[in-house]
Amino acid sequence: MSQELSLHQRRRVPRPEELQGIPWLAVLQPAERERAIKMLVVGDAQPGDYVCRTGRAPTYWFGVVEGLLKMNTDGVDGASMTLAGLPPGGWFGEGTAVKREPYRYNVQAIRKSVVGGLPIDTFHWLLDHSIGFNRFVMSQLNERLGQFIAAREIDRLTNPDLRVARSLAALFHPLLYPGVGDVLRITQQELAYLVGLSRQRVNEALAVLQREKAIVVEYGGLRVIDLEALRSGQFSAPRRAA
Residue 78: give its domain's CATH number. 2.60.120.10
CA 88 from chain centre, in angstroms, equals 7
Residues 172 and 144 grouped into a single domain? no
Residue 45 has pLDDT above 90, yes or no: yes
- Which of 101, 130, 155 corresponds to the end of one domain? 155
Burial label for 109, CB within 10 Å (0-12, 13-18, 19+), is buried
Which runs of E-coded beta strand occur in the chain?
A: 11-12, 41-45, 50-52, 60-66, 69-74, 80-86, 91-92, 106-109, 113-119, 183-184, 215-218, 221-224
Residues 218 and 111 grouped into a single domain? no
Residues 115 and 172 grouped into a single domain? no
Q: What is the pLDDT of residues 51-67, one digit of tens each?
A: 999 999 999 999 999 99
Choose the weakest-confidence range: 8-17, 32-41, 69-78, 108-117: 69-78
Q: What is the pLDDT of residues 158-196, one digit of tens each?
A: 788 888 998 888 888 888 898 888 888 898 889 998 888
Give the predicted TM-score (pTM) of the model.
0.83
Residue 117 near residue 41, CB atoms below 8 Å:
yes
Q: What per-residue confidence (pLDDT) applies to 78?
A: 65
Q: What per-residue confidence (pLDDT) applies to 77?
A: 66
- Which of 110, 137, 155 corresponds to the end of one domain? 155
22: in domain: yes
Residue 218 has pLDDT above 80, yes or no: yes
- Which of 92, 123, 155 corresponds to the end of one domain? 155
Q: What is the pLDDT of residues 89-141, one digit of tens each?
A: 999 999 999 999 999 999 999 999 999 999 999 999 999 999 999 999 999 98
Confidence of residue 25 (pLDDT cuts 50, 70, 90): very high
Residues 212 and 182 grouped into a single domain? yes
Domain that holds residue 90: 11-155
Residue 206 has pLDDT above 60, yes or no: yes
Nearest to 187 by CA among 115, 114, 111, 113: 111
241: in domain: no
Q: What per-residue confidence (pLDDT) applies to 155?
A: 63
Query: What is the average pLDDT score of the chain?
Result: 87
Residues 105 and 126 grouped into a single domain? yes
Q: What per-residue confidence (pLDDT) applies to 123?
A: 97
